[in-house]
Amino acid sequence: MGFVDSPPTDVGCPIPANTPHAVSVTLPTWDANVGYEEGQEWVASKMNSGYPRFYVHSSIQRLAKHLVDEYGAEGEDAYLFPSYEAAKRCRDFLRRYSSQGKNVPARIVQLTTPVDETDITNANVQAHIAIVFFPAEEAGVCKSYWQHSGEGISSRLAEFCLDRWCRDKCSTEESRFLEERYGRNLDLSFADEAKKALRRRIAGKLIESGQSNDGRAEVTDLSENDVYLYPCGMASIFHAHRATMAIRGADVKAVLYGFPYVDSHNILKKFGGGVHFYANGEPEDLDAIEELLEGGEKISLFFCEVPSNPLLKTPNFERIRALADKYDFPVVVDETVGNFLNVHILPYADVVVSSLTKLFSGDSNVMGGSLVLNPHGKYFQQYKKALEEQYEDNFWAEDAIYLERNSRDFAERNTKINHNTEAVAKLFHDSPLVKDVFYPPYNPSKEQYDKVKVPSGGYGGLFSVVFKDPEDGKAFFDTVNTAKGPSLGTNFTLTSPYVILAHYAELDVVEKYGVDRHLIRISVGLEDTEKLLNNFKKGLDAVANRHN
């Protein structure tokens, strides 16, 4: 892995470089991250890529423009979805949160791509999309739905549609792009086999993770039919919440335990009955939750992460399970950061969700998500029924094929990344420049992590650092020679001033929960361990030299 020696350094460059569907984007300095959040021109003008739920991919932008030109009215804009039902949910969200309320003019147009006999490989493959047209001034509301729900179309689906609808109508440059792109396209007829392989892989790894000789709970009869695939991890969380609302009622509040990824909170806050937020994720918060329940409050679900992002705390799942059994509520757990090769959560949860975009894929070039039902859970049959009624397979064929290929060596990569991360985290833990290292074995909740840790697993590939001097943190970030951008779980090391990117508009609020605005999150990759350590030592040495 030579990536550590030459990561992209230009603002707005995709990560990995020269990757048309890259999941991350280069923001190489602290100021560039602030500039991105503030929309400063010197950053915004160079953003040719971005994390897909926050930045609408150029292919999707081209397709939306084409469709607005073809079917839109004056003053309209559009967002694109892979099904009519998803488009309806966006329209409902717009009517709920628009300043115009239910009177906002919004309409949906459904289209299907034509058969193309000139496409030798995929002549009979057709794609279906639904377009939400709305007044252009309401674009921010629809963008929020796109970001929170993860239901927007993928960039590969947009390219397919452009090729079928726009090849002869696009500009010369766009036509050449499409011709070159689809001169080497995949055989999409393999998509169903790829999806089946993915579901089997996930179910198989979950069963393996539960098999141990120390008396821990197992889930041995998990079926591939209990695994549901989604276009991204956020969509799996969104649909877990939708299914729960169908079971528990749309007006019942959820409980969110621990400081979570930003859009998990947004889903619970903006959809359904709202949320009781226990942001610290400490044992006394479980006491408060039990007091709430003992007082007669009914909750729709209990949601948490393992470990949490970005503080890497691990909940007490034995106590959570006991509360769920006593007070009768489902437990939904996002195990993206831990991943199911390192932590075995399914026996404690009714639903486990994960972003397959991260370590499961590793290549940072495709999105995906999974939702897994615990076949032994009290709510199993109710979730099954809800998903039978709600589930749509909106995972685009080409994305599924890429994800299946990327994930074949998931287990081997996970072992290497666990090893690398322990070594790198220790380097920071031992540094006199560093105030805090947030990483499962260094956190007070280590005992809880170890209770759910897979015997052959590790502590994951993610940790966070806060320097004693905030200016040291900025200097380190600007100096260290890694890829720098959003996302995690990549095969290469990726560094980010996470709180600046995720919570820039609420820095004072999140600091009340122990989330320092100067926190740096490091996702460790597959590079040679010694090279990786030397690289980070150079970054720390450069910071130390500031004080000499």
Are 397 and 509 members of one domain?
Answer: no
User: Domain boundary at 131, 148, 183, which?
Assistant: 183
Residue corresponding to tokens 């990757």: 19
Q: How many helices (H) and strands (E) does the chain have?
A: 20, 17
Give me 20's structure tokens. Answer: 């048309």
Is 9 inside any structural domain? no
Are 455 and 387 members of one domain?
Answer: no
Is 16 inside any structural domain? no
Binning pLDDT at 50, 70 and 90, where does residue 105 land?
Answer: very high
CATH code of 105's domain: 3.30.70
CATH code of 494's domain: 3.90.1150.10
Binning pLDDT at 50, 70 and 90, where does residue 89 land?
Answer: very high
Distances (CA, A) of 85 to 109, 130, 134, 379: 12, 9, 17, 25
Is 19 inside any structural domain? no
Is 3 inside any structural domain? no
Render pLDDT for 244-286 as a digit per residue (tens, 0 to 9): 999 999 999 999 999 999 999 999 999 999 999 999 999 999 9
Are 447 and 385 members of one domain?
Answer: no
Identify the pLDDT of residue 443. Answer: 97
What is the distance between the alpha carbons of residues 241 and 268, in angstroms, rounded to a whole number? 8
Are 334 and 262 members of one domain?
Answer: yes
Is 106 inside any structural domain? yes
Look at residues 274, 279, 333 and name the one whose alpha carbon lies nearest to residue 306.
333
* Global confidence as pTM: 0.95
Which positions ≥6 away from 359 have C-beta within 8 Å? 339, 410, 413, 414, 417, 461, 488, 489
% of the chain surpassing 70 pLDDT: 95
Look at residues 485, 434, 442, 447 and name the one whose alpha carbon lies nearest to residue 463.
442
Indicate if the pLDDT at residue 232 is higher than 70.
Answer: yes
Render pLDDT for 319-350 as a digit per residue (tens, 0 to 9): 999 999 999 999 999 999 999 999 999 999 99
Indicate if the pLDDT at residue 210 is higher than 90.
Answer: no
Look at residues 491, 489, 517 and name the one whose alpha carbon lies nearest to residue 503.
517
Local structure of residue 134 (DSSP, 8 states): E
Identify the pLDDT of residue 174. Answer: 54
Identify the pLDDT of residue 4. Answer: 53
Is 11 inside any structural domain? no
Is 322 inside any structural domain? yes
Are 459 and 327 members of one domain?
Answer: no
Are 340 and 422 members of one domain?
Answer: no
Are 75 and 165 members of one domain?
Answer: yes
Burial 332-349 (b: 16+ CB within 10 A, else e): bbbbbbbbbbbbbbbbbb
Binning pLDDT at 50, 70 and 90, where does residue 118 land?
Answer: confident
Give me 433's structure tokens. Answer: 């420049």
Q: Which helix (H) or strand (E) holds 131?
A: strand 128-135
Look at residues 197, 218, 209, 227 and name the one whose alpha carbon lies nearest to residue 352.
227
Residue 151, phi-psi category: left (phi > 0), alpha (psi -120 to 50), beta (remainder): alpha
8 contacts 19 by C-beta, under 8 angstroms = no
- Quote the domain boundaries for residue 381: 189-406
Backbone angles phi, psi at 465, to 5 degrees: -130, 140
Is 207 inside any structural domain? yes
